Amino acid sequence: MKEIQIKDKRFRTFIPEADILREVHRVASEISRDLEGENPLFVSVLNGSFMFTADLMKCLDIPCEVSFVKLASYAGTSSTGKVKELVGLNEDISGRTVVIVEDIVDTGLTMKRLIETLKGRGPKDIRVATLLVKPDKLEVELNLDYVAMKIPNDFIVGYGLDYDGLGRNYRDIYTVID
């Protein structure tokens, strides 16, 4: 087990890369099976989901497209509840099957707001693929179609996820010690 220090916090290995990739493969198989013939548009939510998106896309074997959007609702280790606007989606999604690709669903407020925003643009279907979910933190009802892993409430970093901008580069996921 490895320990890392980021600013004032220590973290230890929690989910090794091999376990992450196994679950990403599983989710990709489910998506390939469900959305064959749909030419889905994957909408990847930056910054946190860049690694998940890359690995997920590499495992898909159906015709599909990917686009990257930005929004932010997080400062430090606790959700602020504030949600910024969606930026960067230039594609016309009307009549299309859209798959939102997110790093982690915590309270679920970000995802709920994003789904509502995208619904306003007339897609045929919106699905959600999230790397992680903290089920005990969910504050809103959400239909999460594809979930790679469920985790406890603790703060994590790595595999795209950050603590104050740092830690996204680690290939494993780490959980906070103190």
Q: Is 114 in the site for ligand IMP (CB under 6 A)?
A: no
Among 44, 161, 170, 172, binds ligand IMP (CB under 6 A): 161
Query: Nearest CA to 88 among 43, 128, 132?
Result: 43
How far CA 77 is from CA of 14, 145, 165, 168, in Å, comes to: 17, 26, 11, 14
Q: Is 48 in the site for ligand IMP (CB under 6 A)?
A: yes
Q: Which two tokens stand for residue 12?
A: 């230890």
Closest to ligand IMP by CB, 122 or 140:
140
Span 62-81, contacts to ligand IMP by CB under 6 A: 73-74, 79
Identify the active-site residue in 55, 103, 106, 172.
106
- 164 carries an active-site annotation: no
How far CA 72 is from CA of 40, 49, 75, 79, 111, in Å, comes to: 24, 12, 9, 10, 11
Q: Which two tokens stand for residue 136?
A: 């005990």
Q: Is 110 in the site for ligand IMP (CB under 6 A)?
A: yes
Contact assessment for residue 90 and residue 120, using Cβ atoms and an 8 Å cutoff: no
Q: Is 160 in the site for ligand IMP (CB under 6 A)?
A: no
Q: Which residues participate in catalysis according to the annotation?
A: 106
Which residues contact ligand IMP (rule: CB under 6 A)?
48, 73-74, 79, 102-111, 155-157, 161
